[in-house]
Structure 1
Amino acid sequence: MAASSRRCYCSVPGCSTSKQRQPYLSFQKDEHLRKAWVRLIRRDEGPLFHISRGSTFVCSLHFDEESIYVSKSGRRRLKSGTTPSRFSWNSWGETRVLRQSVFDRVNARFEVTLVEESQNSDSAIENADEQPTVAEDQQPAAASDHNYSRDSAGGLDADAAAETIRQLEAKVRSLERQLSDLSCTLNINRYCATDEEFRFYTRFQSEKVFWSFWESVAPSASRLIYWSRAQRASDVMALEKPSPNRRLALMDELFLYCCRVAVGMKEKVIADIFGISLTTVSRIIITWANYLFIVLGSVPIWMSREQVQATMPPKFTQYCPNVRVILDCTEIRCEAPSSLTLQSETFSSYKNTNTFKGLIGIAPCGVITFISKLFTGSISVREITRQSGILSLFEPGDACMADKGFVIDQMLSDVGATLIIPPFKRGTRFSKEDTEKTQNIARLRILVERAIRRVKEYHIWDTTIPLTLSGSVNQLWATCCLMSNYQGPLDVKGDVPV
């Protein structure tokens, strides 16, 4: 510390000392101590304050006398490692006396009151022996204050009340732990609270439908095995026990799968939201795709003729009462393979891009009753109908409704079924009967388009499917089709569940 020869001021907020009033100014040169000084004087370096050598100082008023010594040359200097400690906000270094809390002050007054009452009662007893007895009718009418420190005559025992309080506190802690487990460990409770949020994140119609779906798959999901472990297992007996050390609860794993399939979130985003690695996200998605494909696929969805007739809307009964299924093909874009042969196989002339093509069939009530596996985009309608296996499901007398592109009448006639398609134009224009038939078929066949739209509203199909998912794309497609049935059948007049 030395006297400043420049016209400088102290850097401590609220201190206006200059070299004329307090000539001894200083600032620490050591980097670590300098940071401590900046913190103690409550100043942060920035646009309004910058430490410059020779112009930034702290005056000697902010140091204790023990921190300053006089050198042999007669100059006042700071001891090594000294920090400023005297400021206006700490009363210039004076030790602050902490005020007692309200609880301590009340207890102190309560103890004093008890001592005074005890002394007064003792003196009253002594005086009672000396003073004459006063008659009851001559006693003063003023009533004494109630002593709340003593139990009333009809009150609970103190020990019993304390035990009751301890039991209630233990119950509160138990309920808090249960609430914490439900709200903190399950990510689905953070994002889904209303029916609208459940529809957005899971594509289920309501919260009630989602929990019904979960209750139907939860018993078998408790023994779920990750596909990576199944690949590594050399012995079938090693797969009897479920995979240990799951990072997420089973409910959250299903919710994660819905976020990827229904919302279309990228795997990196899901990994950041759930706090797990990208590899774990990919493993969970593939595992649940295969699991739901097996579980939901084990339930027969092809409706019998009696079931179709019982749920058939009136307009179908009027125009085509024998229809068993409405067929249509749909395509989803996929990444172009590097092989020219695979490119030609997946290229769709209809979409003019590389696609996967699938066949979907619905009952007249709007429920999806048939799902084929995905084929390459170059396959024809006749070939996909033949390879899908739907012909074996028809019975003699059934009718199949489709678009004009389904020239499969010969295939259906071989199994005793008929094909209902719009009539082809013969001549320059349609006849009146053909026009009415075309309108009626189009009005009814639009139902399959709505069902396909529901499936494609699972946003995983919004973008081009990478070839890395080619091993599980069939499972993903089938689960989306099957889970769309939980949204309820479609009405013929509109997209309204019936």
Structure 2
Amino acid sequence: MATISDQTVVCSRHFKYTDFKWTPAVRKTLKSDSVPFVFDWSNLITPRRELFKHPVPQKRPRPESDTEIEADDDISLGCEPYPEFQETNLIVCSPQKDKIQELEALVKSRDQEIQRLQKKIEIERFGINRFSTDNTMILFYTGFVSMSMFSAFFNFIKPVANSMTSYYYKSNDNAKQNILAGRQRNMLLIDELFMFLCRLKCGLMEQDLAVRFNCHVSTVSRKMITWANFLYFVLGSFNIWPSKQHIDDKMPASFKLLYPSTRVVIDCTEIKTERPSSLALGSKCYSNYKSSHTWKGLVGIAPHGAVTFISSLYTGCMSDVEITKLCGLVDLLEMGDSIMADKGFVLNKVLEGTGITVNTPPFLMSHGQFTKQEVEETQTIAKLRIHIERHIRRVKEYHLFDKIIPLSMVGTINQLWTVANMLTLFRGPLVKEWH
């Protein structure tokens, strides 16, 4: 038997938990009356925890619809009825169904309102769709006499316009101009054309167009350059110079009676521009006739009124004779043709040896007054020449040319001038009787 002393140690597992006491330092010590309860002869078995089976409540089958609830009320399901549950379910579900139907109706009405407002916004948005039913406004903004004429023109150029190369200006060290094809468009193609025509026909400023079409002013500027060049090449590819036989077939009786050999009626017109900073260029652009700096171009129409010749723009200091010599008109004429023009076109030397004549009003010679025959000739030519003035007036109805053209538009002014002249072909005849 072991000797017990102060140093004897007993395993703590021989004592119960309640036999210990705890010090503030969290150190456990035995109580003075504690005795061990685990010995070799003790055969203690920890009793197994008794398991309790919880009753599972029986579930009632869930009905698929309200109709089934009413139909199955009298059917016994083999369990205790729940009248309180059934009554509560009916009271709660009915208001929920009504609420859902009310919300669905509200959502439907809101969707209809949204569609109505979207349609209203689309109609009120500044674009071709807004004015598609008003031919007066179509003529005002585009120069086309009707929406059907505008649509026909757009459908004609649309296949090529879809692959149109867009212009943009990239600022870099070399300040080079660049073009970019296939850029994603943020505006309908037909609205781009409409915006270009608003600029050309009404003379609207680019900042104004940016506000109207809800885009940046630089976007407007790029689109103006793009469409000016595009229409210049598309419309400029048309051969508007008719054959002599065609001229004879379409010639009005007034020309056929007095001047049957007339092939073209010509005149020059001028467009004001800003004063260049260069003195040399400024002197070349200065027009004594307009007393301002201008660009000058020559146009020609057939006797029946259709435009048949459009020259490039030249500096305002050049005379009518110089422009006629340089523009290439004489090369298109044939022997026996005649030109009808104003007094400023003294083309005798230019046409010498070509077999081409020019019909101009007679000059007042040294005798001081016109003879009766000269007066009648002057009146006759003036009456026939009035049609070229009407054509020029149609071109000037594109009010972009009313303003002083800034020098920043020098790169596109020639294209705009040509396009404006070509678009007059879609306005119909100058004289209704010629239709």
The alignment's TM-score, normalised by the length of structure 1, stands at 0.61
Q: Is the 8 A contact 1:422 1:441 kept in 2?
A: yes
Q: Is the 8 A contact 2:251 2:303 kept in 1?
A: yes
Tell me which stretches of 4 or more aligned residues in structure 1 moved more than 3 Å.
Answer: 175-186, 229-232
SS at match of 2:271: strand
Q: Is the 8 A contact 2:304 2:434 kept in 1?
A: no
Residue in structure 1 matched with residue 47 of structure 2 by the alignment:
none
Which of 168, 171, 178 is the aligned partner of 1:228? 168
Q: Is the 8 A contact 2:270 2:296 kept in 1?
A: yes
Deviation per CA, 1:430-459: give whole Å up to 9, x if none. Answer: 122211111110000011000000000001
The alignment's TM-score, normalised by the length of structure 2, stands at 0.69
Shift of 1:353: 0.6
Query: In 1, distance between residues paired with 2:170 and 2:246?
Result: 39
Matched, 1:416 2:355: yes
Which of 301, 311, 317 is the aligned partner of 1:362? 301
SS at match of 2:317: coil
Q: Is the 8 A contact 1:228 1:283 kept in 2?
A: yes
Deviation per CA, 1:368-405: give whole Å up to 9, x if none. Answer: 11011111100111111111111100000101000011
Matched, 1:388 2:296: no
Query: In 2, distance between residues paired with 1:218 and 1:184?
Result: 25
Q: Is the 8 A contact 1:399 1:420 kept in 2?
A: yes
SS at match of 2:358: strand
Q: Is the 8 A contact 2:252 2:434 kept in 1?
A: no
The size of the alignment, in residue pairs, is 323
Alignment of 1:136-155 (within 5 A): none
Query: In 2, distance between residues paired with 1:305 and 1:231?
Result: 51
Shift of 1:243: 2.2
Residue in structure 2 matched with residue 379 of structure 1 by the alignment:
318
Which of 302, 322, 347 is the aligned partner of 2:241? 302
Which of 473, 476, 480 is the aligned partner of 2:413? 473
Across the aligned residues of Structure 1 and Structure 2, the Cα RMSD in angstroms comes to 3.0
SS at match of 1:470: helix
Query: In 2, distance between residues paired with 1:196 and 1:179?
Result: 23
Deviation per CA, 1:267-313: give whole Å up to 9, x if none. Answer: 00100111110100000000000000000000011111111111111
Residue in structure 1 matched with residue 52 of structure 2 by the alignment:
none
Residue in structure 1 matched with residue 425 of structure 2 by the alignment:
485
SS at match of 1:370: strand
Residue in structure 2 matched with residue 352 of structure 1 by the alignment:
291
Matched, 1:269 2:208: yes
Look at both structures and tell me which one has the larger radius of gyration over its CA atoms.
2
Q: Is the 8 A contact 1:186 1:249 kept in 2?
A: no
- Most deviating of 428-437 and 272-281: 428-437
Residue in structure 2 matched with residue 13 of structure 1 by the alignment:
none
Shift of 1:415: 2.5
Bigger relative CO (Cα 8 Å, ≥ 6 apart): 2
Letter in 1 for 2:414: N
Matched, 1:205 2:155: no
SS at match of 1:332: strand
Structure 2: gaps spanning 5 or more residues:
1-65, 72-111, 173-177
Alignment of 1:20-419 (within 5 A): 187-228=127-168, 242-419=181-358
Q: Is the 8 A contact 2:126 2:213 kept in 1?
A: no
> How many percent of aligned residue pairs carry the same amino acid?
41
Q: Is the 8 A contact 2:337 2:355 kept in 1?
A: yes
Q: Is the 8 A contact 1:222 1:242 kept in 2?
A: no
Q: Is the 8 A contact 2:202 2:400 kept in 1?
A: yes
Residue in structure 1 matched with residue 364 of structure 2 by the alignment:
425
Deviation per CA, 1:308-366: give whole Å up to 9, x if none. Answer: 11111110011101100001000011000111111111100011111110001000111
Shift of 1:183: 5.0
